[in-house]
Amino acid sequence: MAKKVRVRFAPSPTGGLHLGGVRTVLYNYLFARQQGGDFVLRIEDTDQSRYVPGAEEYIYECLKWCGLQPDESPQAGGPYAPYRQSERKDLYRQYAEFLVQEGKAYYAFDRPDELDSMRERFKTAENPSPQYDHKVRMQMRNSCSLTFEETERLLADNVPHVIRIRMPENETVTFTDMIRGEVSFHTELVDDKVLLKADGMPTYHLAVVVDDYLMKITHAFRGEEWLPSSPVHVLLWKYLGWEKDMPQWAHLPLILKPDGNGKLSKRDGDRLGFPVFAMNWTVPGTNELTKGFREIGFLPEAFINMLAMLGWNDGTDQELFTLDELVQKFSMDRVHKGGAKFDFEKAKWFNHEWIKKSEVGRLKPEVRKTLEQQGISVNDDVKLETVIALVKERCTFIADFVEQARFFFQTPQQWDLDAIKPKWNEAKQAFFGDVINYLQQQTNWVAADLEHGFKELAAAKQIKPGEVLLPLRIMLVGGKFGPGVFDIAGIIGKEETVKRVSNLLGQL
């Protein structure tokens, strides 16, 4: 019987969630849902020096906003709890000690100053930053170079130490990656990574293997920056006797800067004026705010859709997918090997398309909140729905509804007079006086009828409609934008329309 698919996302709570991290979540989630499996969130907080208060809660909030809720997590619990590595600390030492007994790992007692002097001593032009590996191992203070008695004495005296993996010499470690096919590494090039730190906390290398085994993870998807660590992890699965339970690996391509030169970073976003985090992130204790996609007005549907297409496609020209469609269509063999350039204009296109295709009811709570934050009170539900339906095609971000909808709820206080004055004359002044009378007499206030009557009146005064439509728009809106001018009049009503025409006529 095939094993139940179990995937995991295992972030460190050290700051904001980069869109590359969210894409890793998304691919995990899509694969799990498609295969009828479980999606696990595990918090990797073993590096207590980098732990940032609030970062874990931020991760939960991001996943909730994206609609990518895990089946098991520190919040939700589950059969393999605890899901926070710091709460699993006591588990790891036994596995590290087992590796020492088997000769696959060793105790290292080197002090920080001894490590510094080793890096100086072995530095050459070809090797400017020497690693702790098989070439220097026997010249350092560890249980490979010391006698059994010396090692036992240091342990009995509680001398601070770490446990390092003993990388084999002259071996090739090979595994199959779901995206890259067969991948091989020569062990000569890999250092003896620390598995257990002096404070008893495991490093990522040991913890990820132990936790994936104990939590029965079947597939491990992570960014390609973890590829150089994979020989260490493959050997640990083998050395711990769990090789047959090793998950299938997939190392996802990087999300690149817009010019394609290197991995997209927060600095690139700051420099080029777009977010790289899912949500706003403020560094605790400072006012350093990094903007997020949520706060600049992205819909989660658009954000997820855009991320899915950064490094994957379904082989057709289709670009707009709901989450359910992505679950149906997603497959690992269509994930690209090469990095994907981030294009903010394309990201905006996705958001614009999603705003256009969203139901009015879906947009209404967000739009109402955004308008009210700008001091625009919205009391009439039906009117708000009508306005959203009318202007949503013009909005790229939720915030755009402020400019595109404000004038439906507030009388303009400023007008683009420069657009009217050069061609303004007494005939137009008189014409708009007649327009006010015409509007006041209307009993059937319908956009199409108003337009018909306005054009007839212009024809009777021998004025081209085009010459008076722009002034009418500026009277109602304040500027040269917005949907059909008679649609606007139809929504704001007779009294308000007459008031706005009179207001500007007085100014002119």
Tokens of 86: 């710091």
Amino acid at site 156: A
206, 96 contact by CB (below 8 A) = yes
Asked if 34 contacts 330 with a C-beta cutoff of 8 angstroms, the reply is yes
E-strand spans in 304-396? Answer: 340-341
Nearest to 72 by CA among 136, 18, 123, 4: 4
Contacts 24+ apart (CB under 8 A), 351-355: 351/297, 351/298, 351/299, 351/302, 351/303, 351/306, 351/396, 351/397, 352/395, 352/396, 353/302, 353/320, 354/299, 354/301, 354/302, 354/305, 354/320, 355/299, 355/302, 355/392, 355/395, 355/396, 355/398
3-state secondary structure 12-63: CCCCCCEHHHHHHHHHHHHHHHHCCCEEEECECCCCHHHCCCCHHHHHHHHH
* Dihedral angle sign, alpha carbons of residues 497, 502, 504, 508: positive
Q: What is the DSSP letter of 250?
A: E
DSSP 317: S
Q: At what angle do helices 485-492 and 447-460 cross, to 10 degrees?
A: 120
**Longest C-alpha distance within the chain, in Å?**
112
The CA–CA distances, whole Å, from 483 to 234, 395, 424, 478, 490 equal 61, 12, 23, 13, 12
Phi, psi for residue 53 in degrees, rounded to 5: -60, 140
Q: Known catalytic residues? A: 266
H helices present in 215-250, as ranges: 230-239
Return the ∠ at Cα 92 (arms to 90 and 96), rounded to 5°: 130
**C-alpha span between 231 and 235 (Å, rounded):** 6
Measured between its terminal Cα atoms, the distance across the chain in Å is 83
| Residue labelled with tokens 């903010």 | 344
Backbone angles phi, psi at 333, to 5 degrees: -75, -5
Strand partners for 251:
222
User: Is 64 known as a binding-site position?
Assistant: no
Q: What is the per-residue burial (b if ≥16 Cβ within 10 Å, else e) of 432-461? A: beebeeebeeeeeeeeeebbebbbebbeee
Which residues line the annotated binding site?
Answer: 266
Which residues line the annotated binding site for ATP?
Answer: 266
